């Protein structure tokens, strides 16, 4: 599928009772292909987005609800979604997914992967190629703060992209500059029902602690923090795109798999950049900072035929194969 140009979302101020802030945000996305779908959880953000999409594209909207089955209230969430969709005359597709996580994988990451896989599968079944997601400005700030807490690089600090593709389906996040409070305000003032997920207030989860404790403090100290954080994420995303372009060019120069002598001709930062790119794009492997630093040290020390490299990287190994590096997949 050809990449679709990213529309520029409009910053949205707190709403009045008459204007759905999600509908204002969708004005920048008016050229999307219909029919399209909304990922509908039943919460405030996706409910406001569903109402806005129905106003923007009457009769051309489908809803997809992902049921992870992780909570006792999951069946009630599904029932509430069905009721709202019936009122709006929107076809609803319910997807049951299993969110079990592998060893070393966080439950949140496993649930997210399962959710997007389920959404993409359901979209194709519905005959739509574009899905709207309800993440808003507060979600974006939380993502940036989580990335900072983990020492993330530019890719992490770029936070959530406004547009991305998964399994042949294009996903859009039109609300990334819309405060969550404005969505809830509009829904409440206009009497539109939505559900509150009780897990969103469970402060055992880092994201919930950020929402409950840090965002109010940031709002008090820096009232415009949502806009400035979004701008910083945009700068990081642009810088990451530039690094990706340089890495792609360098990979052509050092070959695939990388020739060690060709790698050594590059500066250490460019070696790191191209090796990270090679591992991710060619082998879907994400090295830690420590693993990548160790690999760079070994490449630098590789000055004799007898020097061996066999390092654990992500879920596999990188080893020396005569003149070049080789990726060894996990068994």
Q: What is the per-residue pLDDT across 219-239, written as a single tens digit (0 to 9) for each?
A: 999 999 999 999 999 999 999
pTM of the model: 0.85
Distance CA 37, CA 51 (A): 12
What's the CATH number where 306 sits?
3.30.465
- Same domain for 259 and 225, yes or no, is no
pLDDT over 80 at 4, yes or no: no
- pLDDT(114) > 90: no
Q: How far is Cα 71 from Cα 200, in angstroms, rounded to an integer?
A: 12
Is residue 194 situated within a structural domain?
yes
Looking at the structure, tell me whether residues 267 and 153 fall in a common domain. Answer: no
Q: Are residues 147 and 58 in the same domain?
A: yes
User: Which CATH number goes with the domain that contains 89?
Assistant: 3.40.50.620
User: Do 218 and 315 reside in the same domain of the chain?
Assistant: no
237-285: per-residue pLDDT in tens?
A: 999 999 999 999 999 999 999 999 999 999 999 999 999 999 999 999 9
- Print the domain residue range for 301: 255-328
In a domain, 184, yes or no: yes
- 101 pLDDT tier (thresholds 50, 70, 90): low
Clarify whether residues 208 and 293 are in a common domain.
no
Examine the domain organization and report whether 197 and 69 are in the same domain: yes
CB of 297 closer than 8 Å to CB of 272: no
Q: Is residue 54 part of a domain?
A: yes
Same domain? 307 vs 216: no
Is residue 13 a part of any domain in this protein?
A: no
Is pLDDT of 196 > 60? yes
Please indicate whether residue 15 or residue 123 has the higher confidence score (pLDDT): 123
Least confidently predicted of 92-101, 128-137, 179-188 = 92-101
Long-range contacts of 242-248 (CB under 8 A, 24+ apart): 243/154, 243/273, 244/277, 246/270, 246/273, 247/273, 247/274, 247/276, 247/277, 247/278, 248/277
3 pLDDT above the threshold of 50? no
Residue 177 forms part of a structural domain: yes
Would residue 244 count as lying in a domain?
no
Q: Are residues 202 and 266 in the same domain?
A: no
Q: CA of 126: how far to CAs of 55, 76, 91, in Å?
A: 20, 24, 10
200 shares its domain with 288: no
Q: Domain check: are 109 and 186 in the same one?
A: yes
- Evaluate if residue 6 carries a pLDDT over 70: no
How many structural domains comprise the chain? 2
DSSP assignment letter at 96:
E
Question: Is it the case that residue 310 has pLDDT exceeding 80?
Answer: yes
- Residue 170 placed within a domain: yes
Q: State mean pLDDT over 132-139.
A: 97
Range picked from 104-113, 204-213, 318-327 for highest mean pLDDT: 318-327
136 within some domain: yes
Tell me the torsion sign for CA atoms 202, 206, 208, 211: positive
Nearest to 33 by CA among 131, 125, 124, 119: 131
Question: Is the same domain home to 139 and 209?
Answer: yes
Say if residue 11's pLDDT is above 50. Answer: no
Mean pLDDT over all residues of the chain? 90
pLDDT for the residue numbered 70: 61
If asked whether residues 135 and 194 sit together in one domain, one would say: yes
Write phi, then psi, for 162 (nearest 5 degrees): -70, -25
Question: Residue 146: is its pLDDT beyond 80?
Answer: yes
pLDDT value, residue 69: 66
């Amino acid at each position: 599928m050809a990449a679709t140009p990213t529309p520029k979302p409009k910053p949205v101020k707190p709403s009045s009772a008459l204007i759905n802030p999600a509908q204002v945000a969708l004005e920048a996305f008016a050229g999307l292909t219909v029919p399209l779908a909304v990922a509908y959880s039943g919460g405030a953000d996706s409910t406001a987005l569903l109402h806005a999409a129905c106003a923007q594209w009457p009769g051309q909207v489908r809803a997809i609800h992902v049921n992870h089955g992780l909570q006792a209230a999951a069946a009630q969430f599904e029932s509430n979604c069905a009721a709202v969709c019936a009122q709006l005359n929107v076809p609803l597709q319910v997807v049951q997914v299993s969110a079990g996580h592998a060893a070393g994988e966080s439950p949140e990451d496993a649930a997210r992967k399962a959710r997007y896989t389920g959404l993409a599968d359901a979209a194709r079944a519905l005959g739509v190629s574009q899905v709207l997601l309800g993440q808003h400005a507060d979600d974006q700030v939380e993502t940036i703060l989580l990335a900072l807490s983990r020492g993330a690089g530019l890719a992490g600090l770029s936070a959530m992209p406004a547009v991305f593709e998964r399994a042949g389906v294009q996903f859009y996040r039109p609300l990334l500059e819309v405060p969550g409070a404005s969505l809830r305000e509009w829904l409440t003032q206009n009497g539109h029902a939505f559900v509150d997920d009780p897990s969103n207030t469970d402060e055992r989860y880092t994201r919930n602690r950020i929402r409950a404790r840090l965002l109010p403090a940031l709002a008090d100290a820096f009232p415009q923090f949502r806009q400035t954080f979004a701008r910083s994420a945009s700068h990081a995303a642009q810088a990451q795109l530039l690094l990706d372009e340089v890495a792609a060019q360098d990979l052509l120069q050092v070959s695939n798999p990388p020739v060690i002598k060709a790698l050594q001709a590059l500066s250490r930062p460019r070696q790191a950049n191209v090796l990270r790119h090679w591992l991710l794009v060619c082998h879907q492997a994400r090295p830690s900072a420590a693993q990548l630093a160790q690999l760079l040290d070994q490449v630098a020390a590789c000055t004799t035929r007898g020097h061996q490299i066999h390092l654990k990287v992500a879920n596999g190994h990188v080893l020396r194969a005569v003149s070049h590096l080789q990726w060894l997949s996990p068994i």
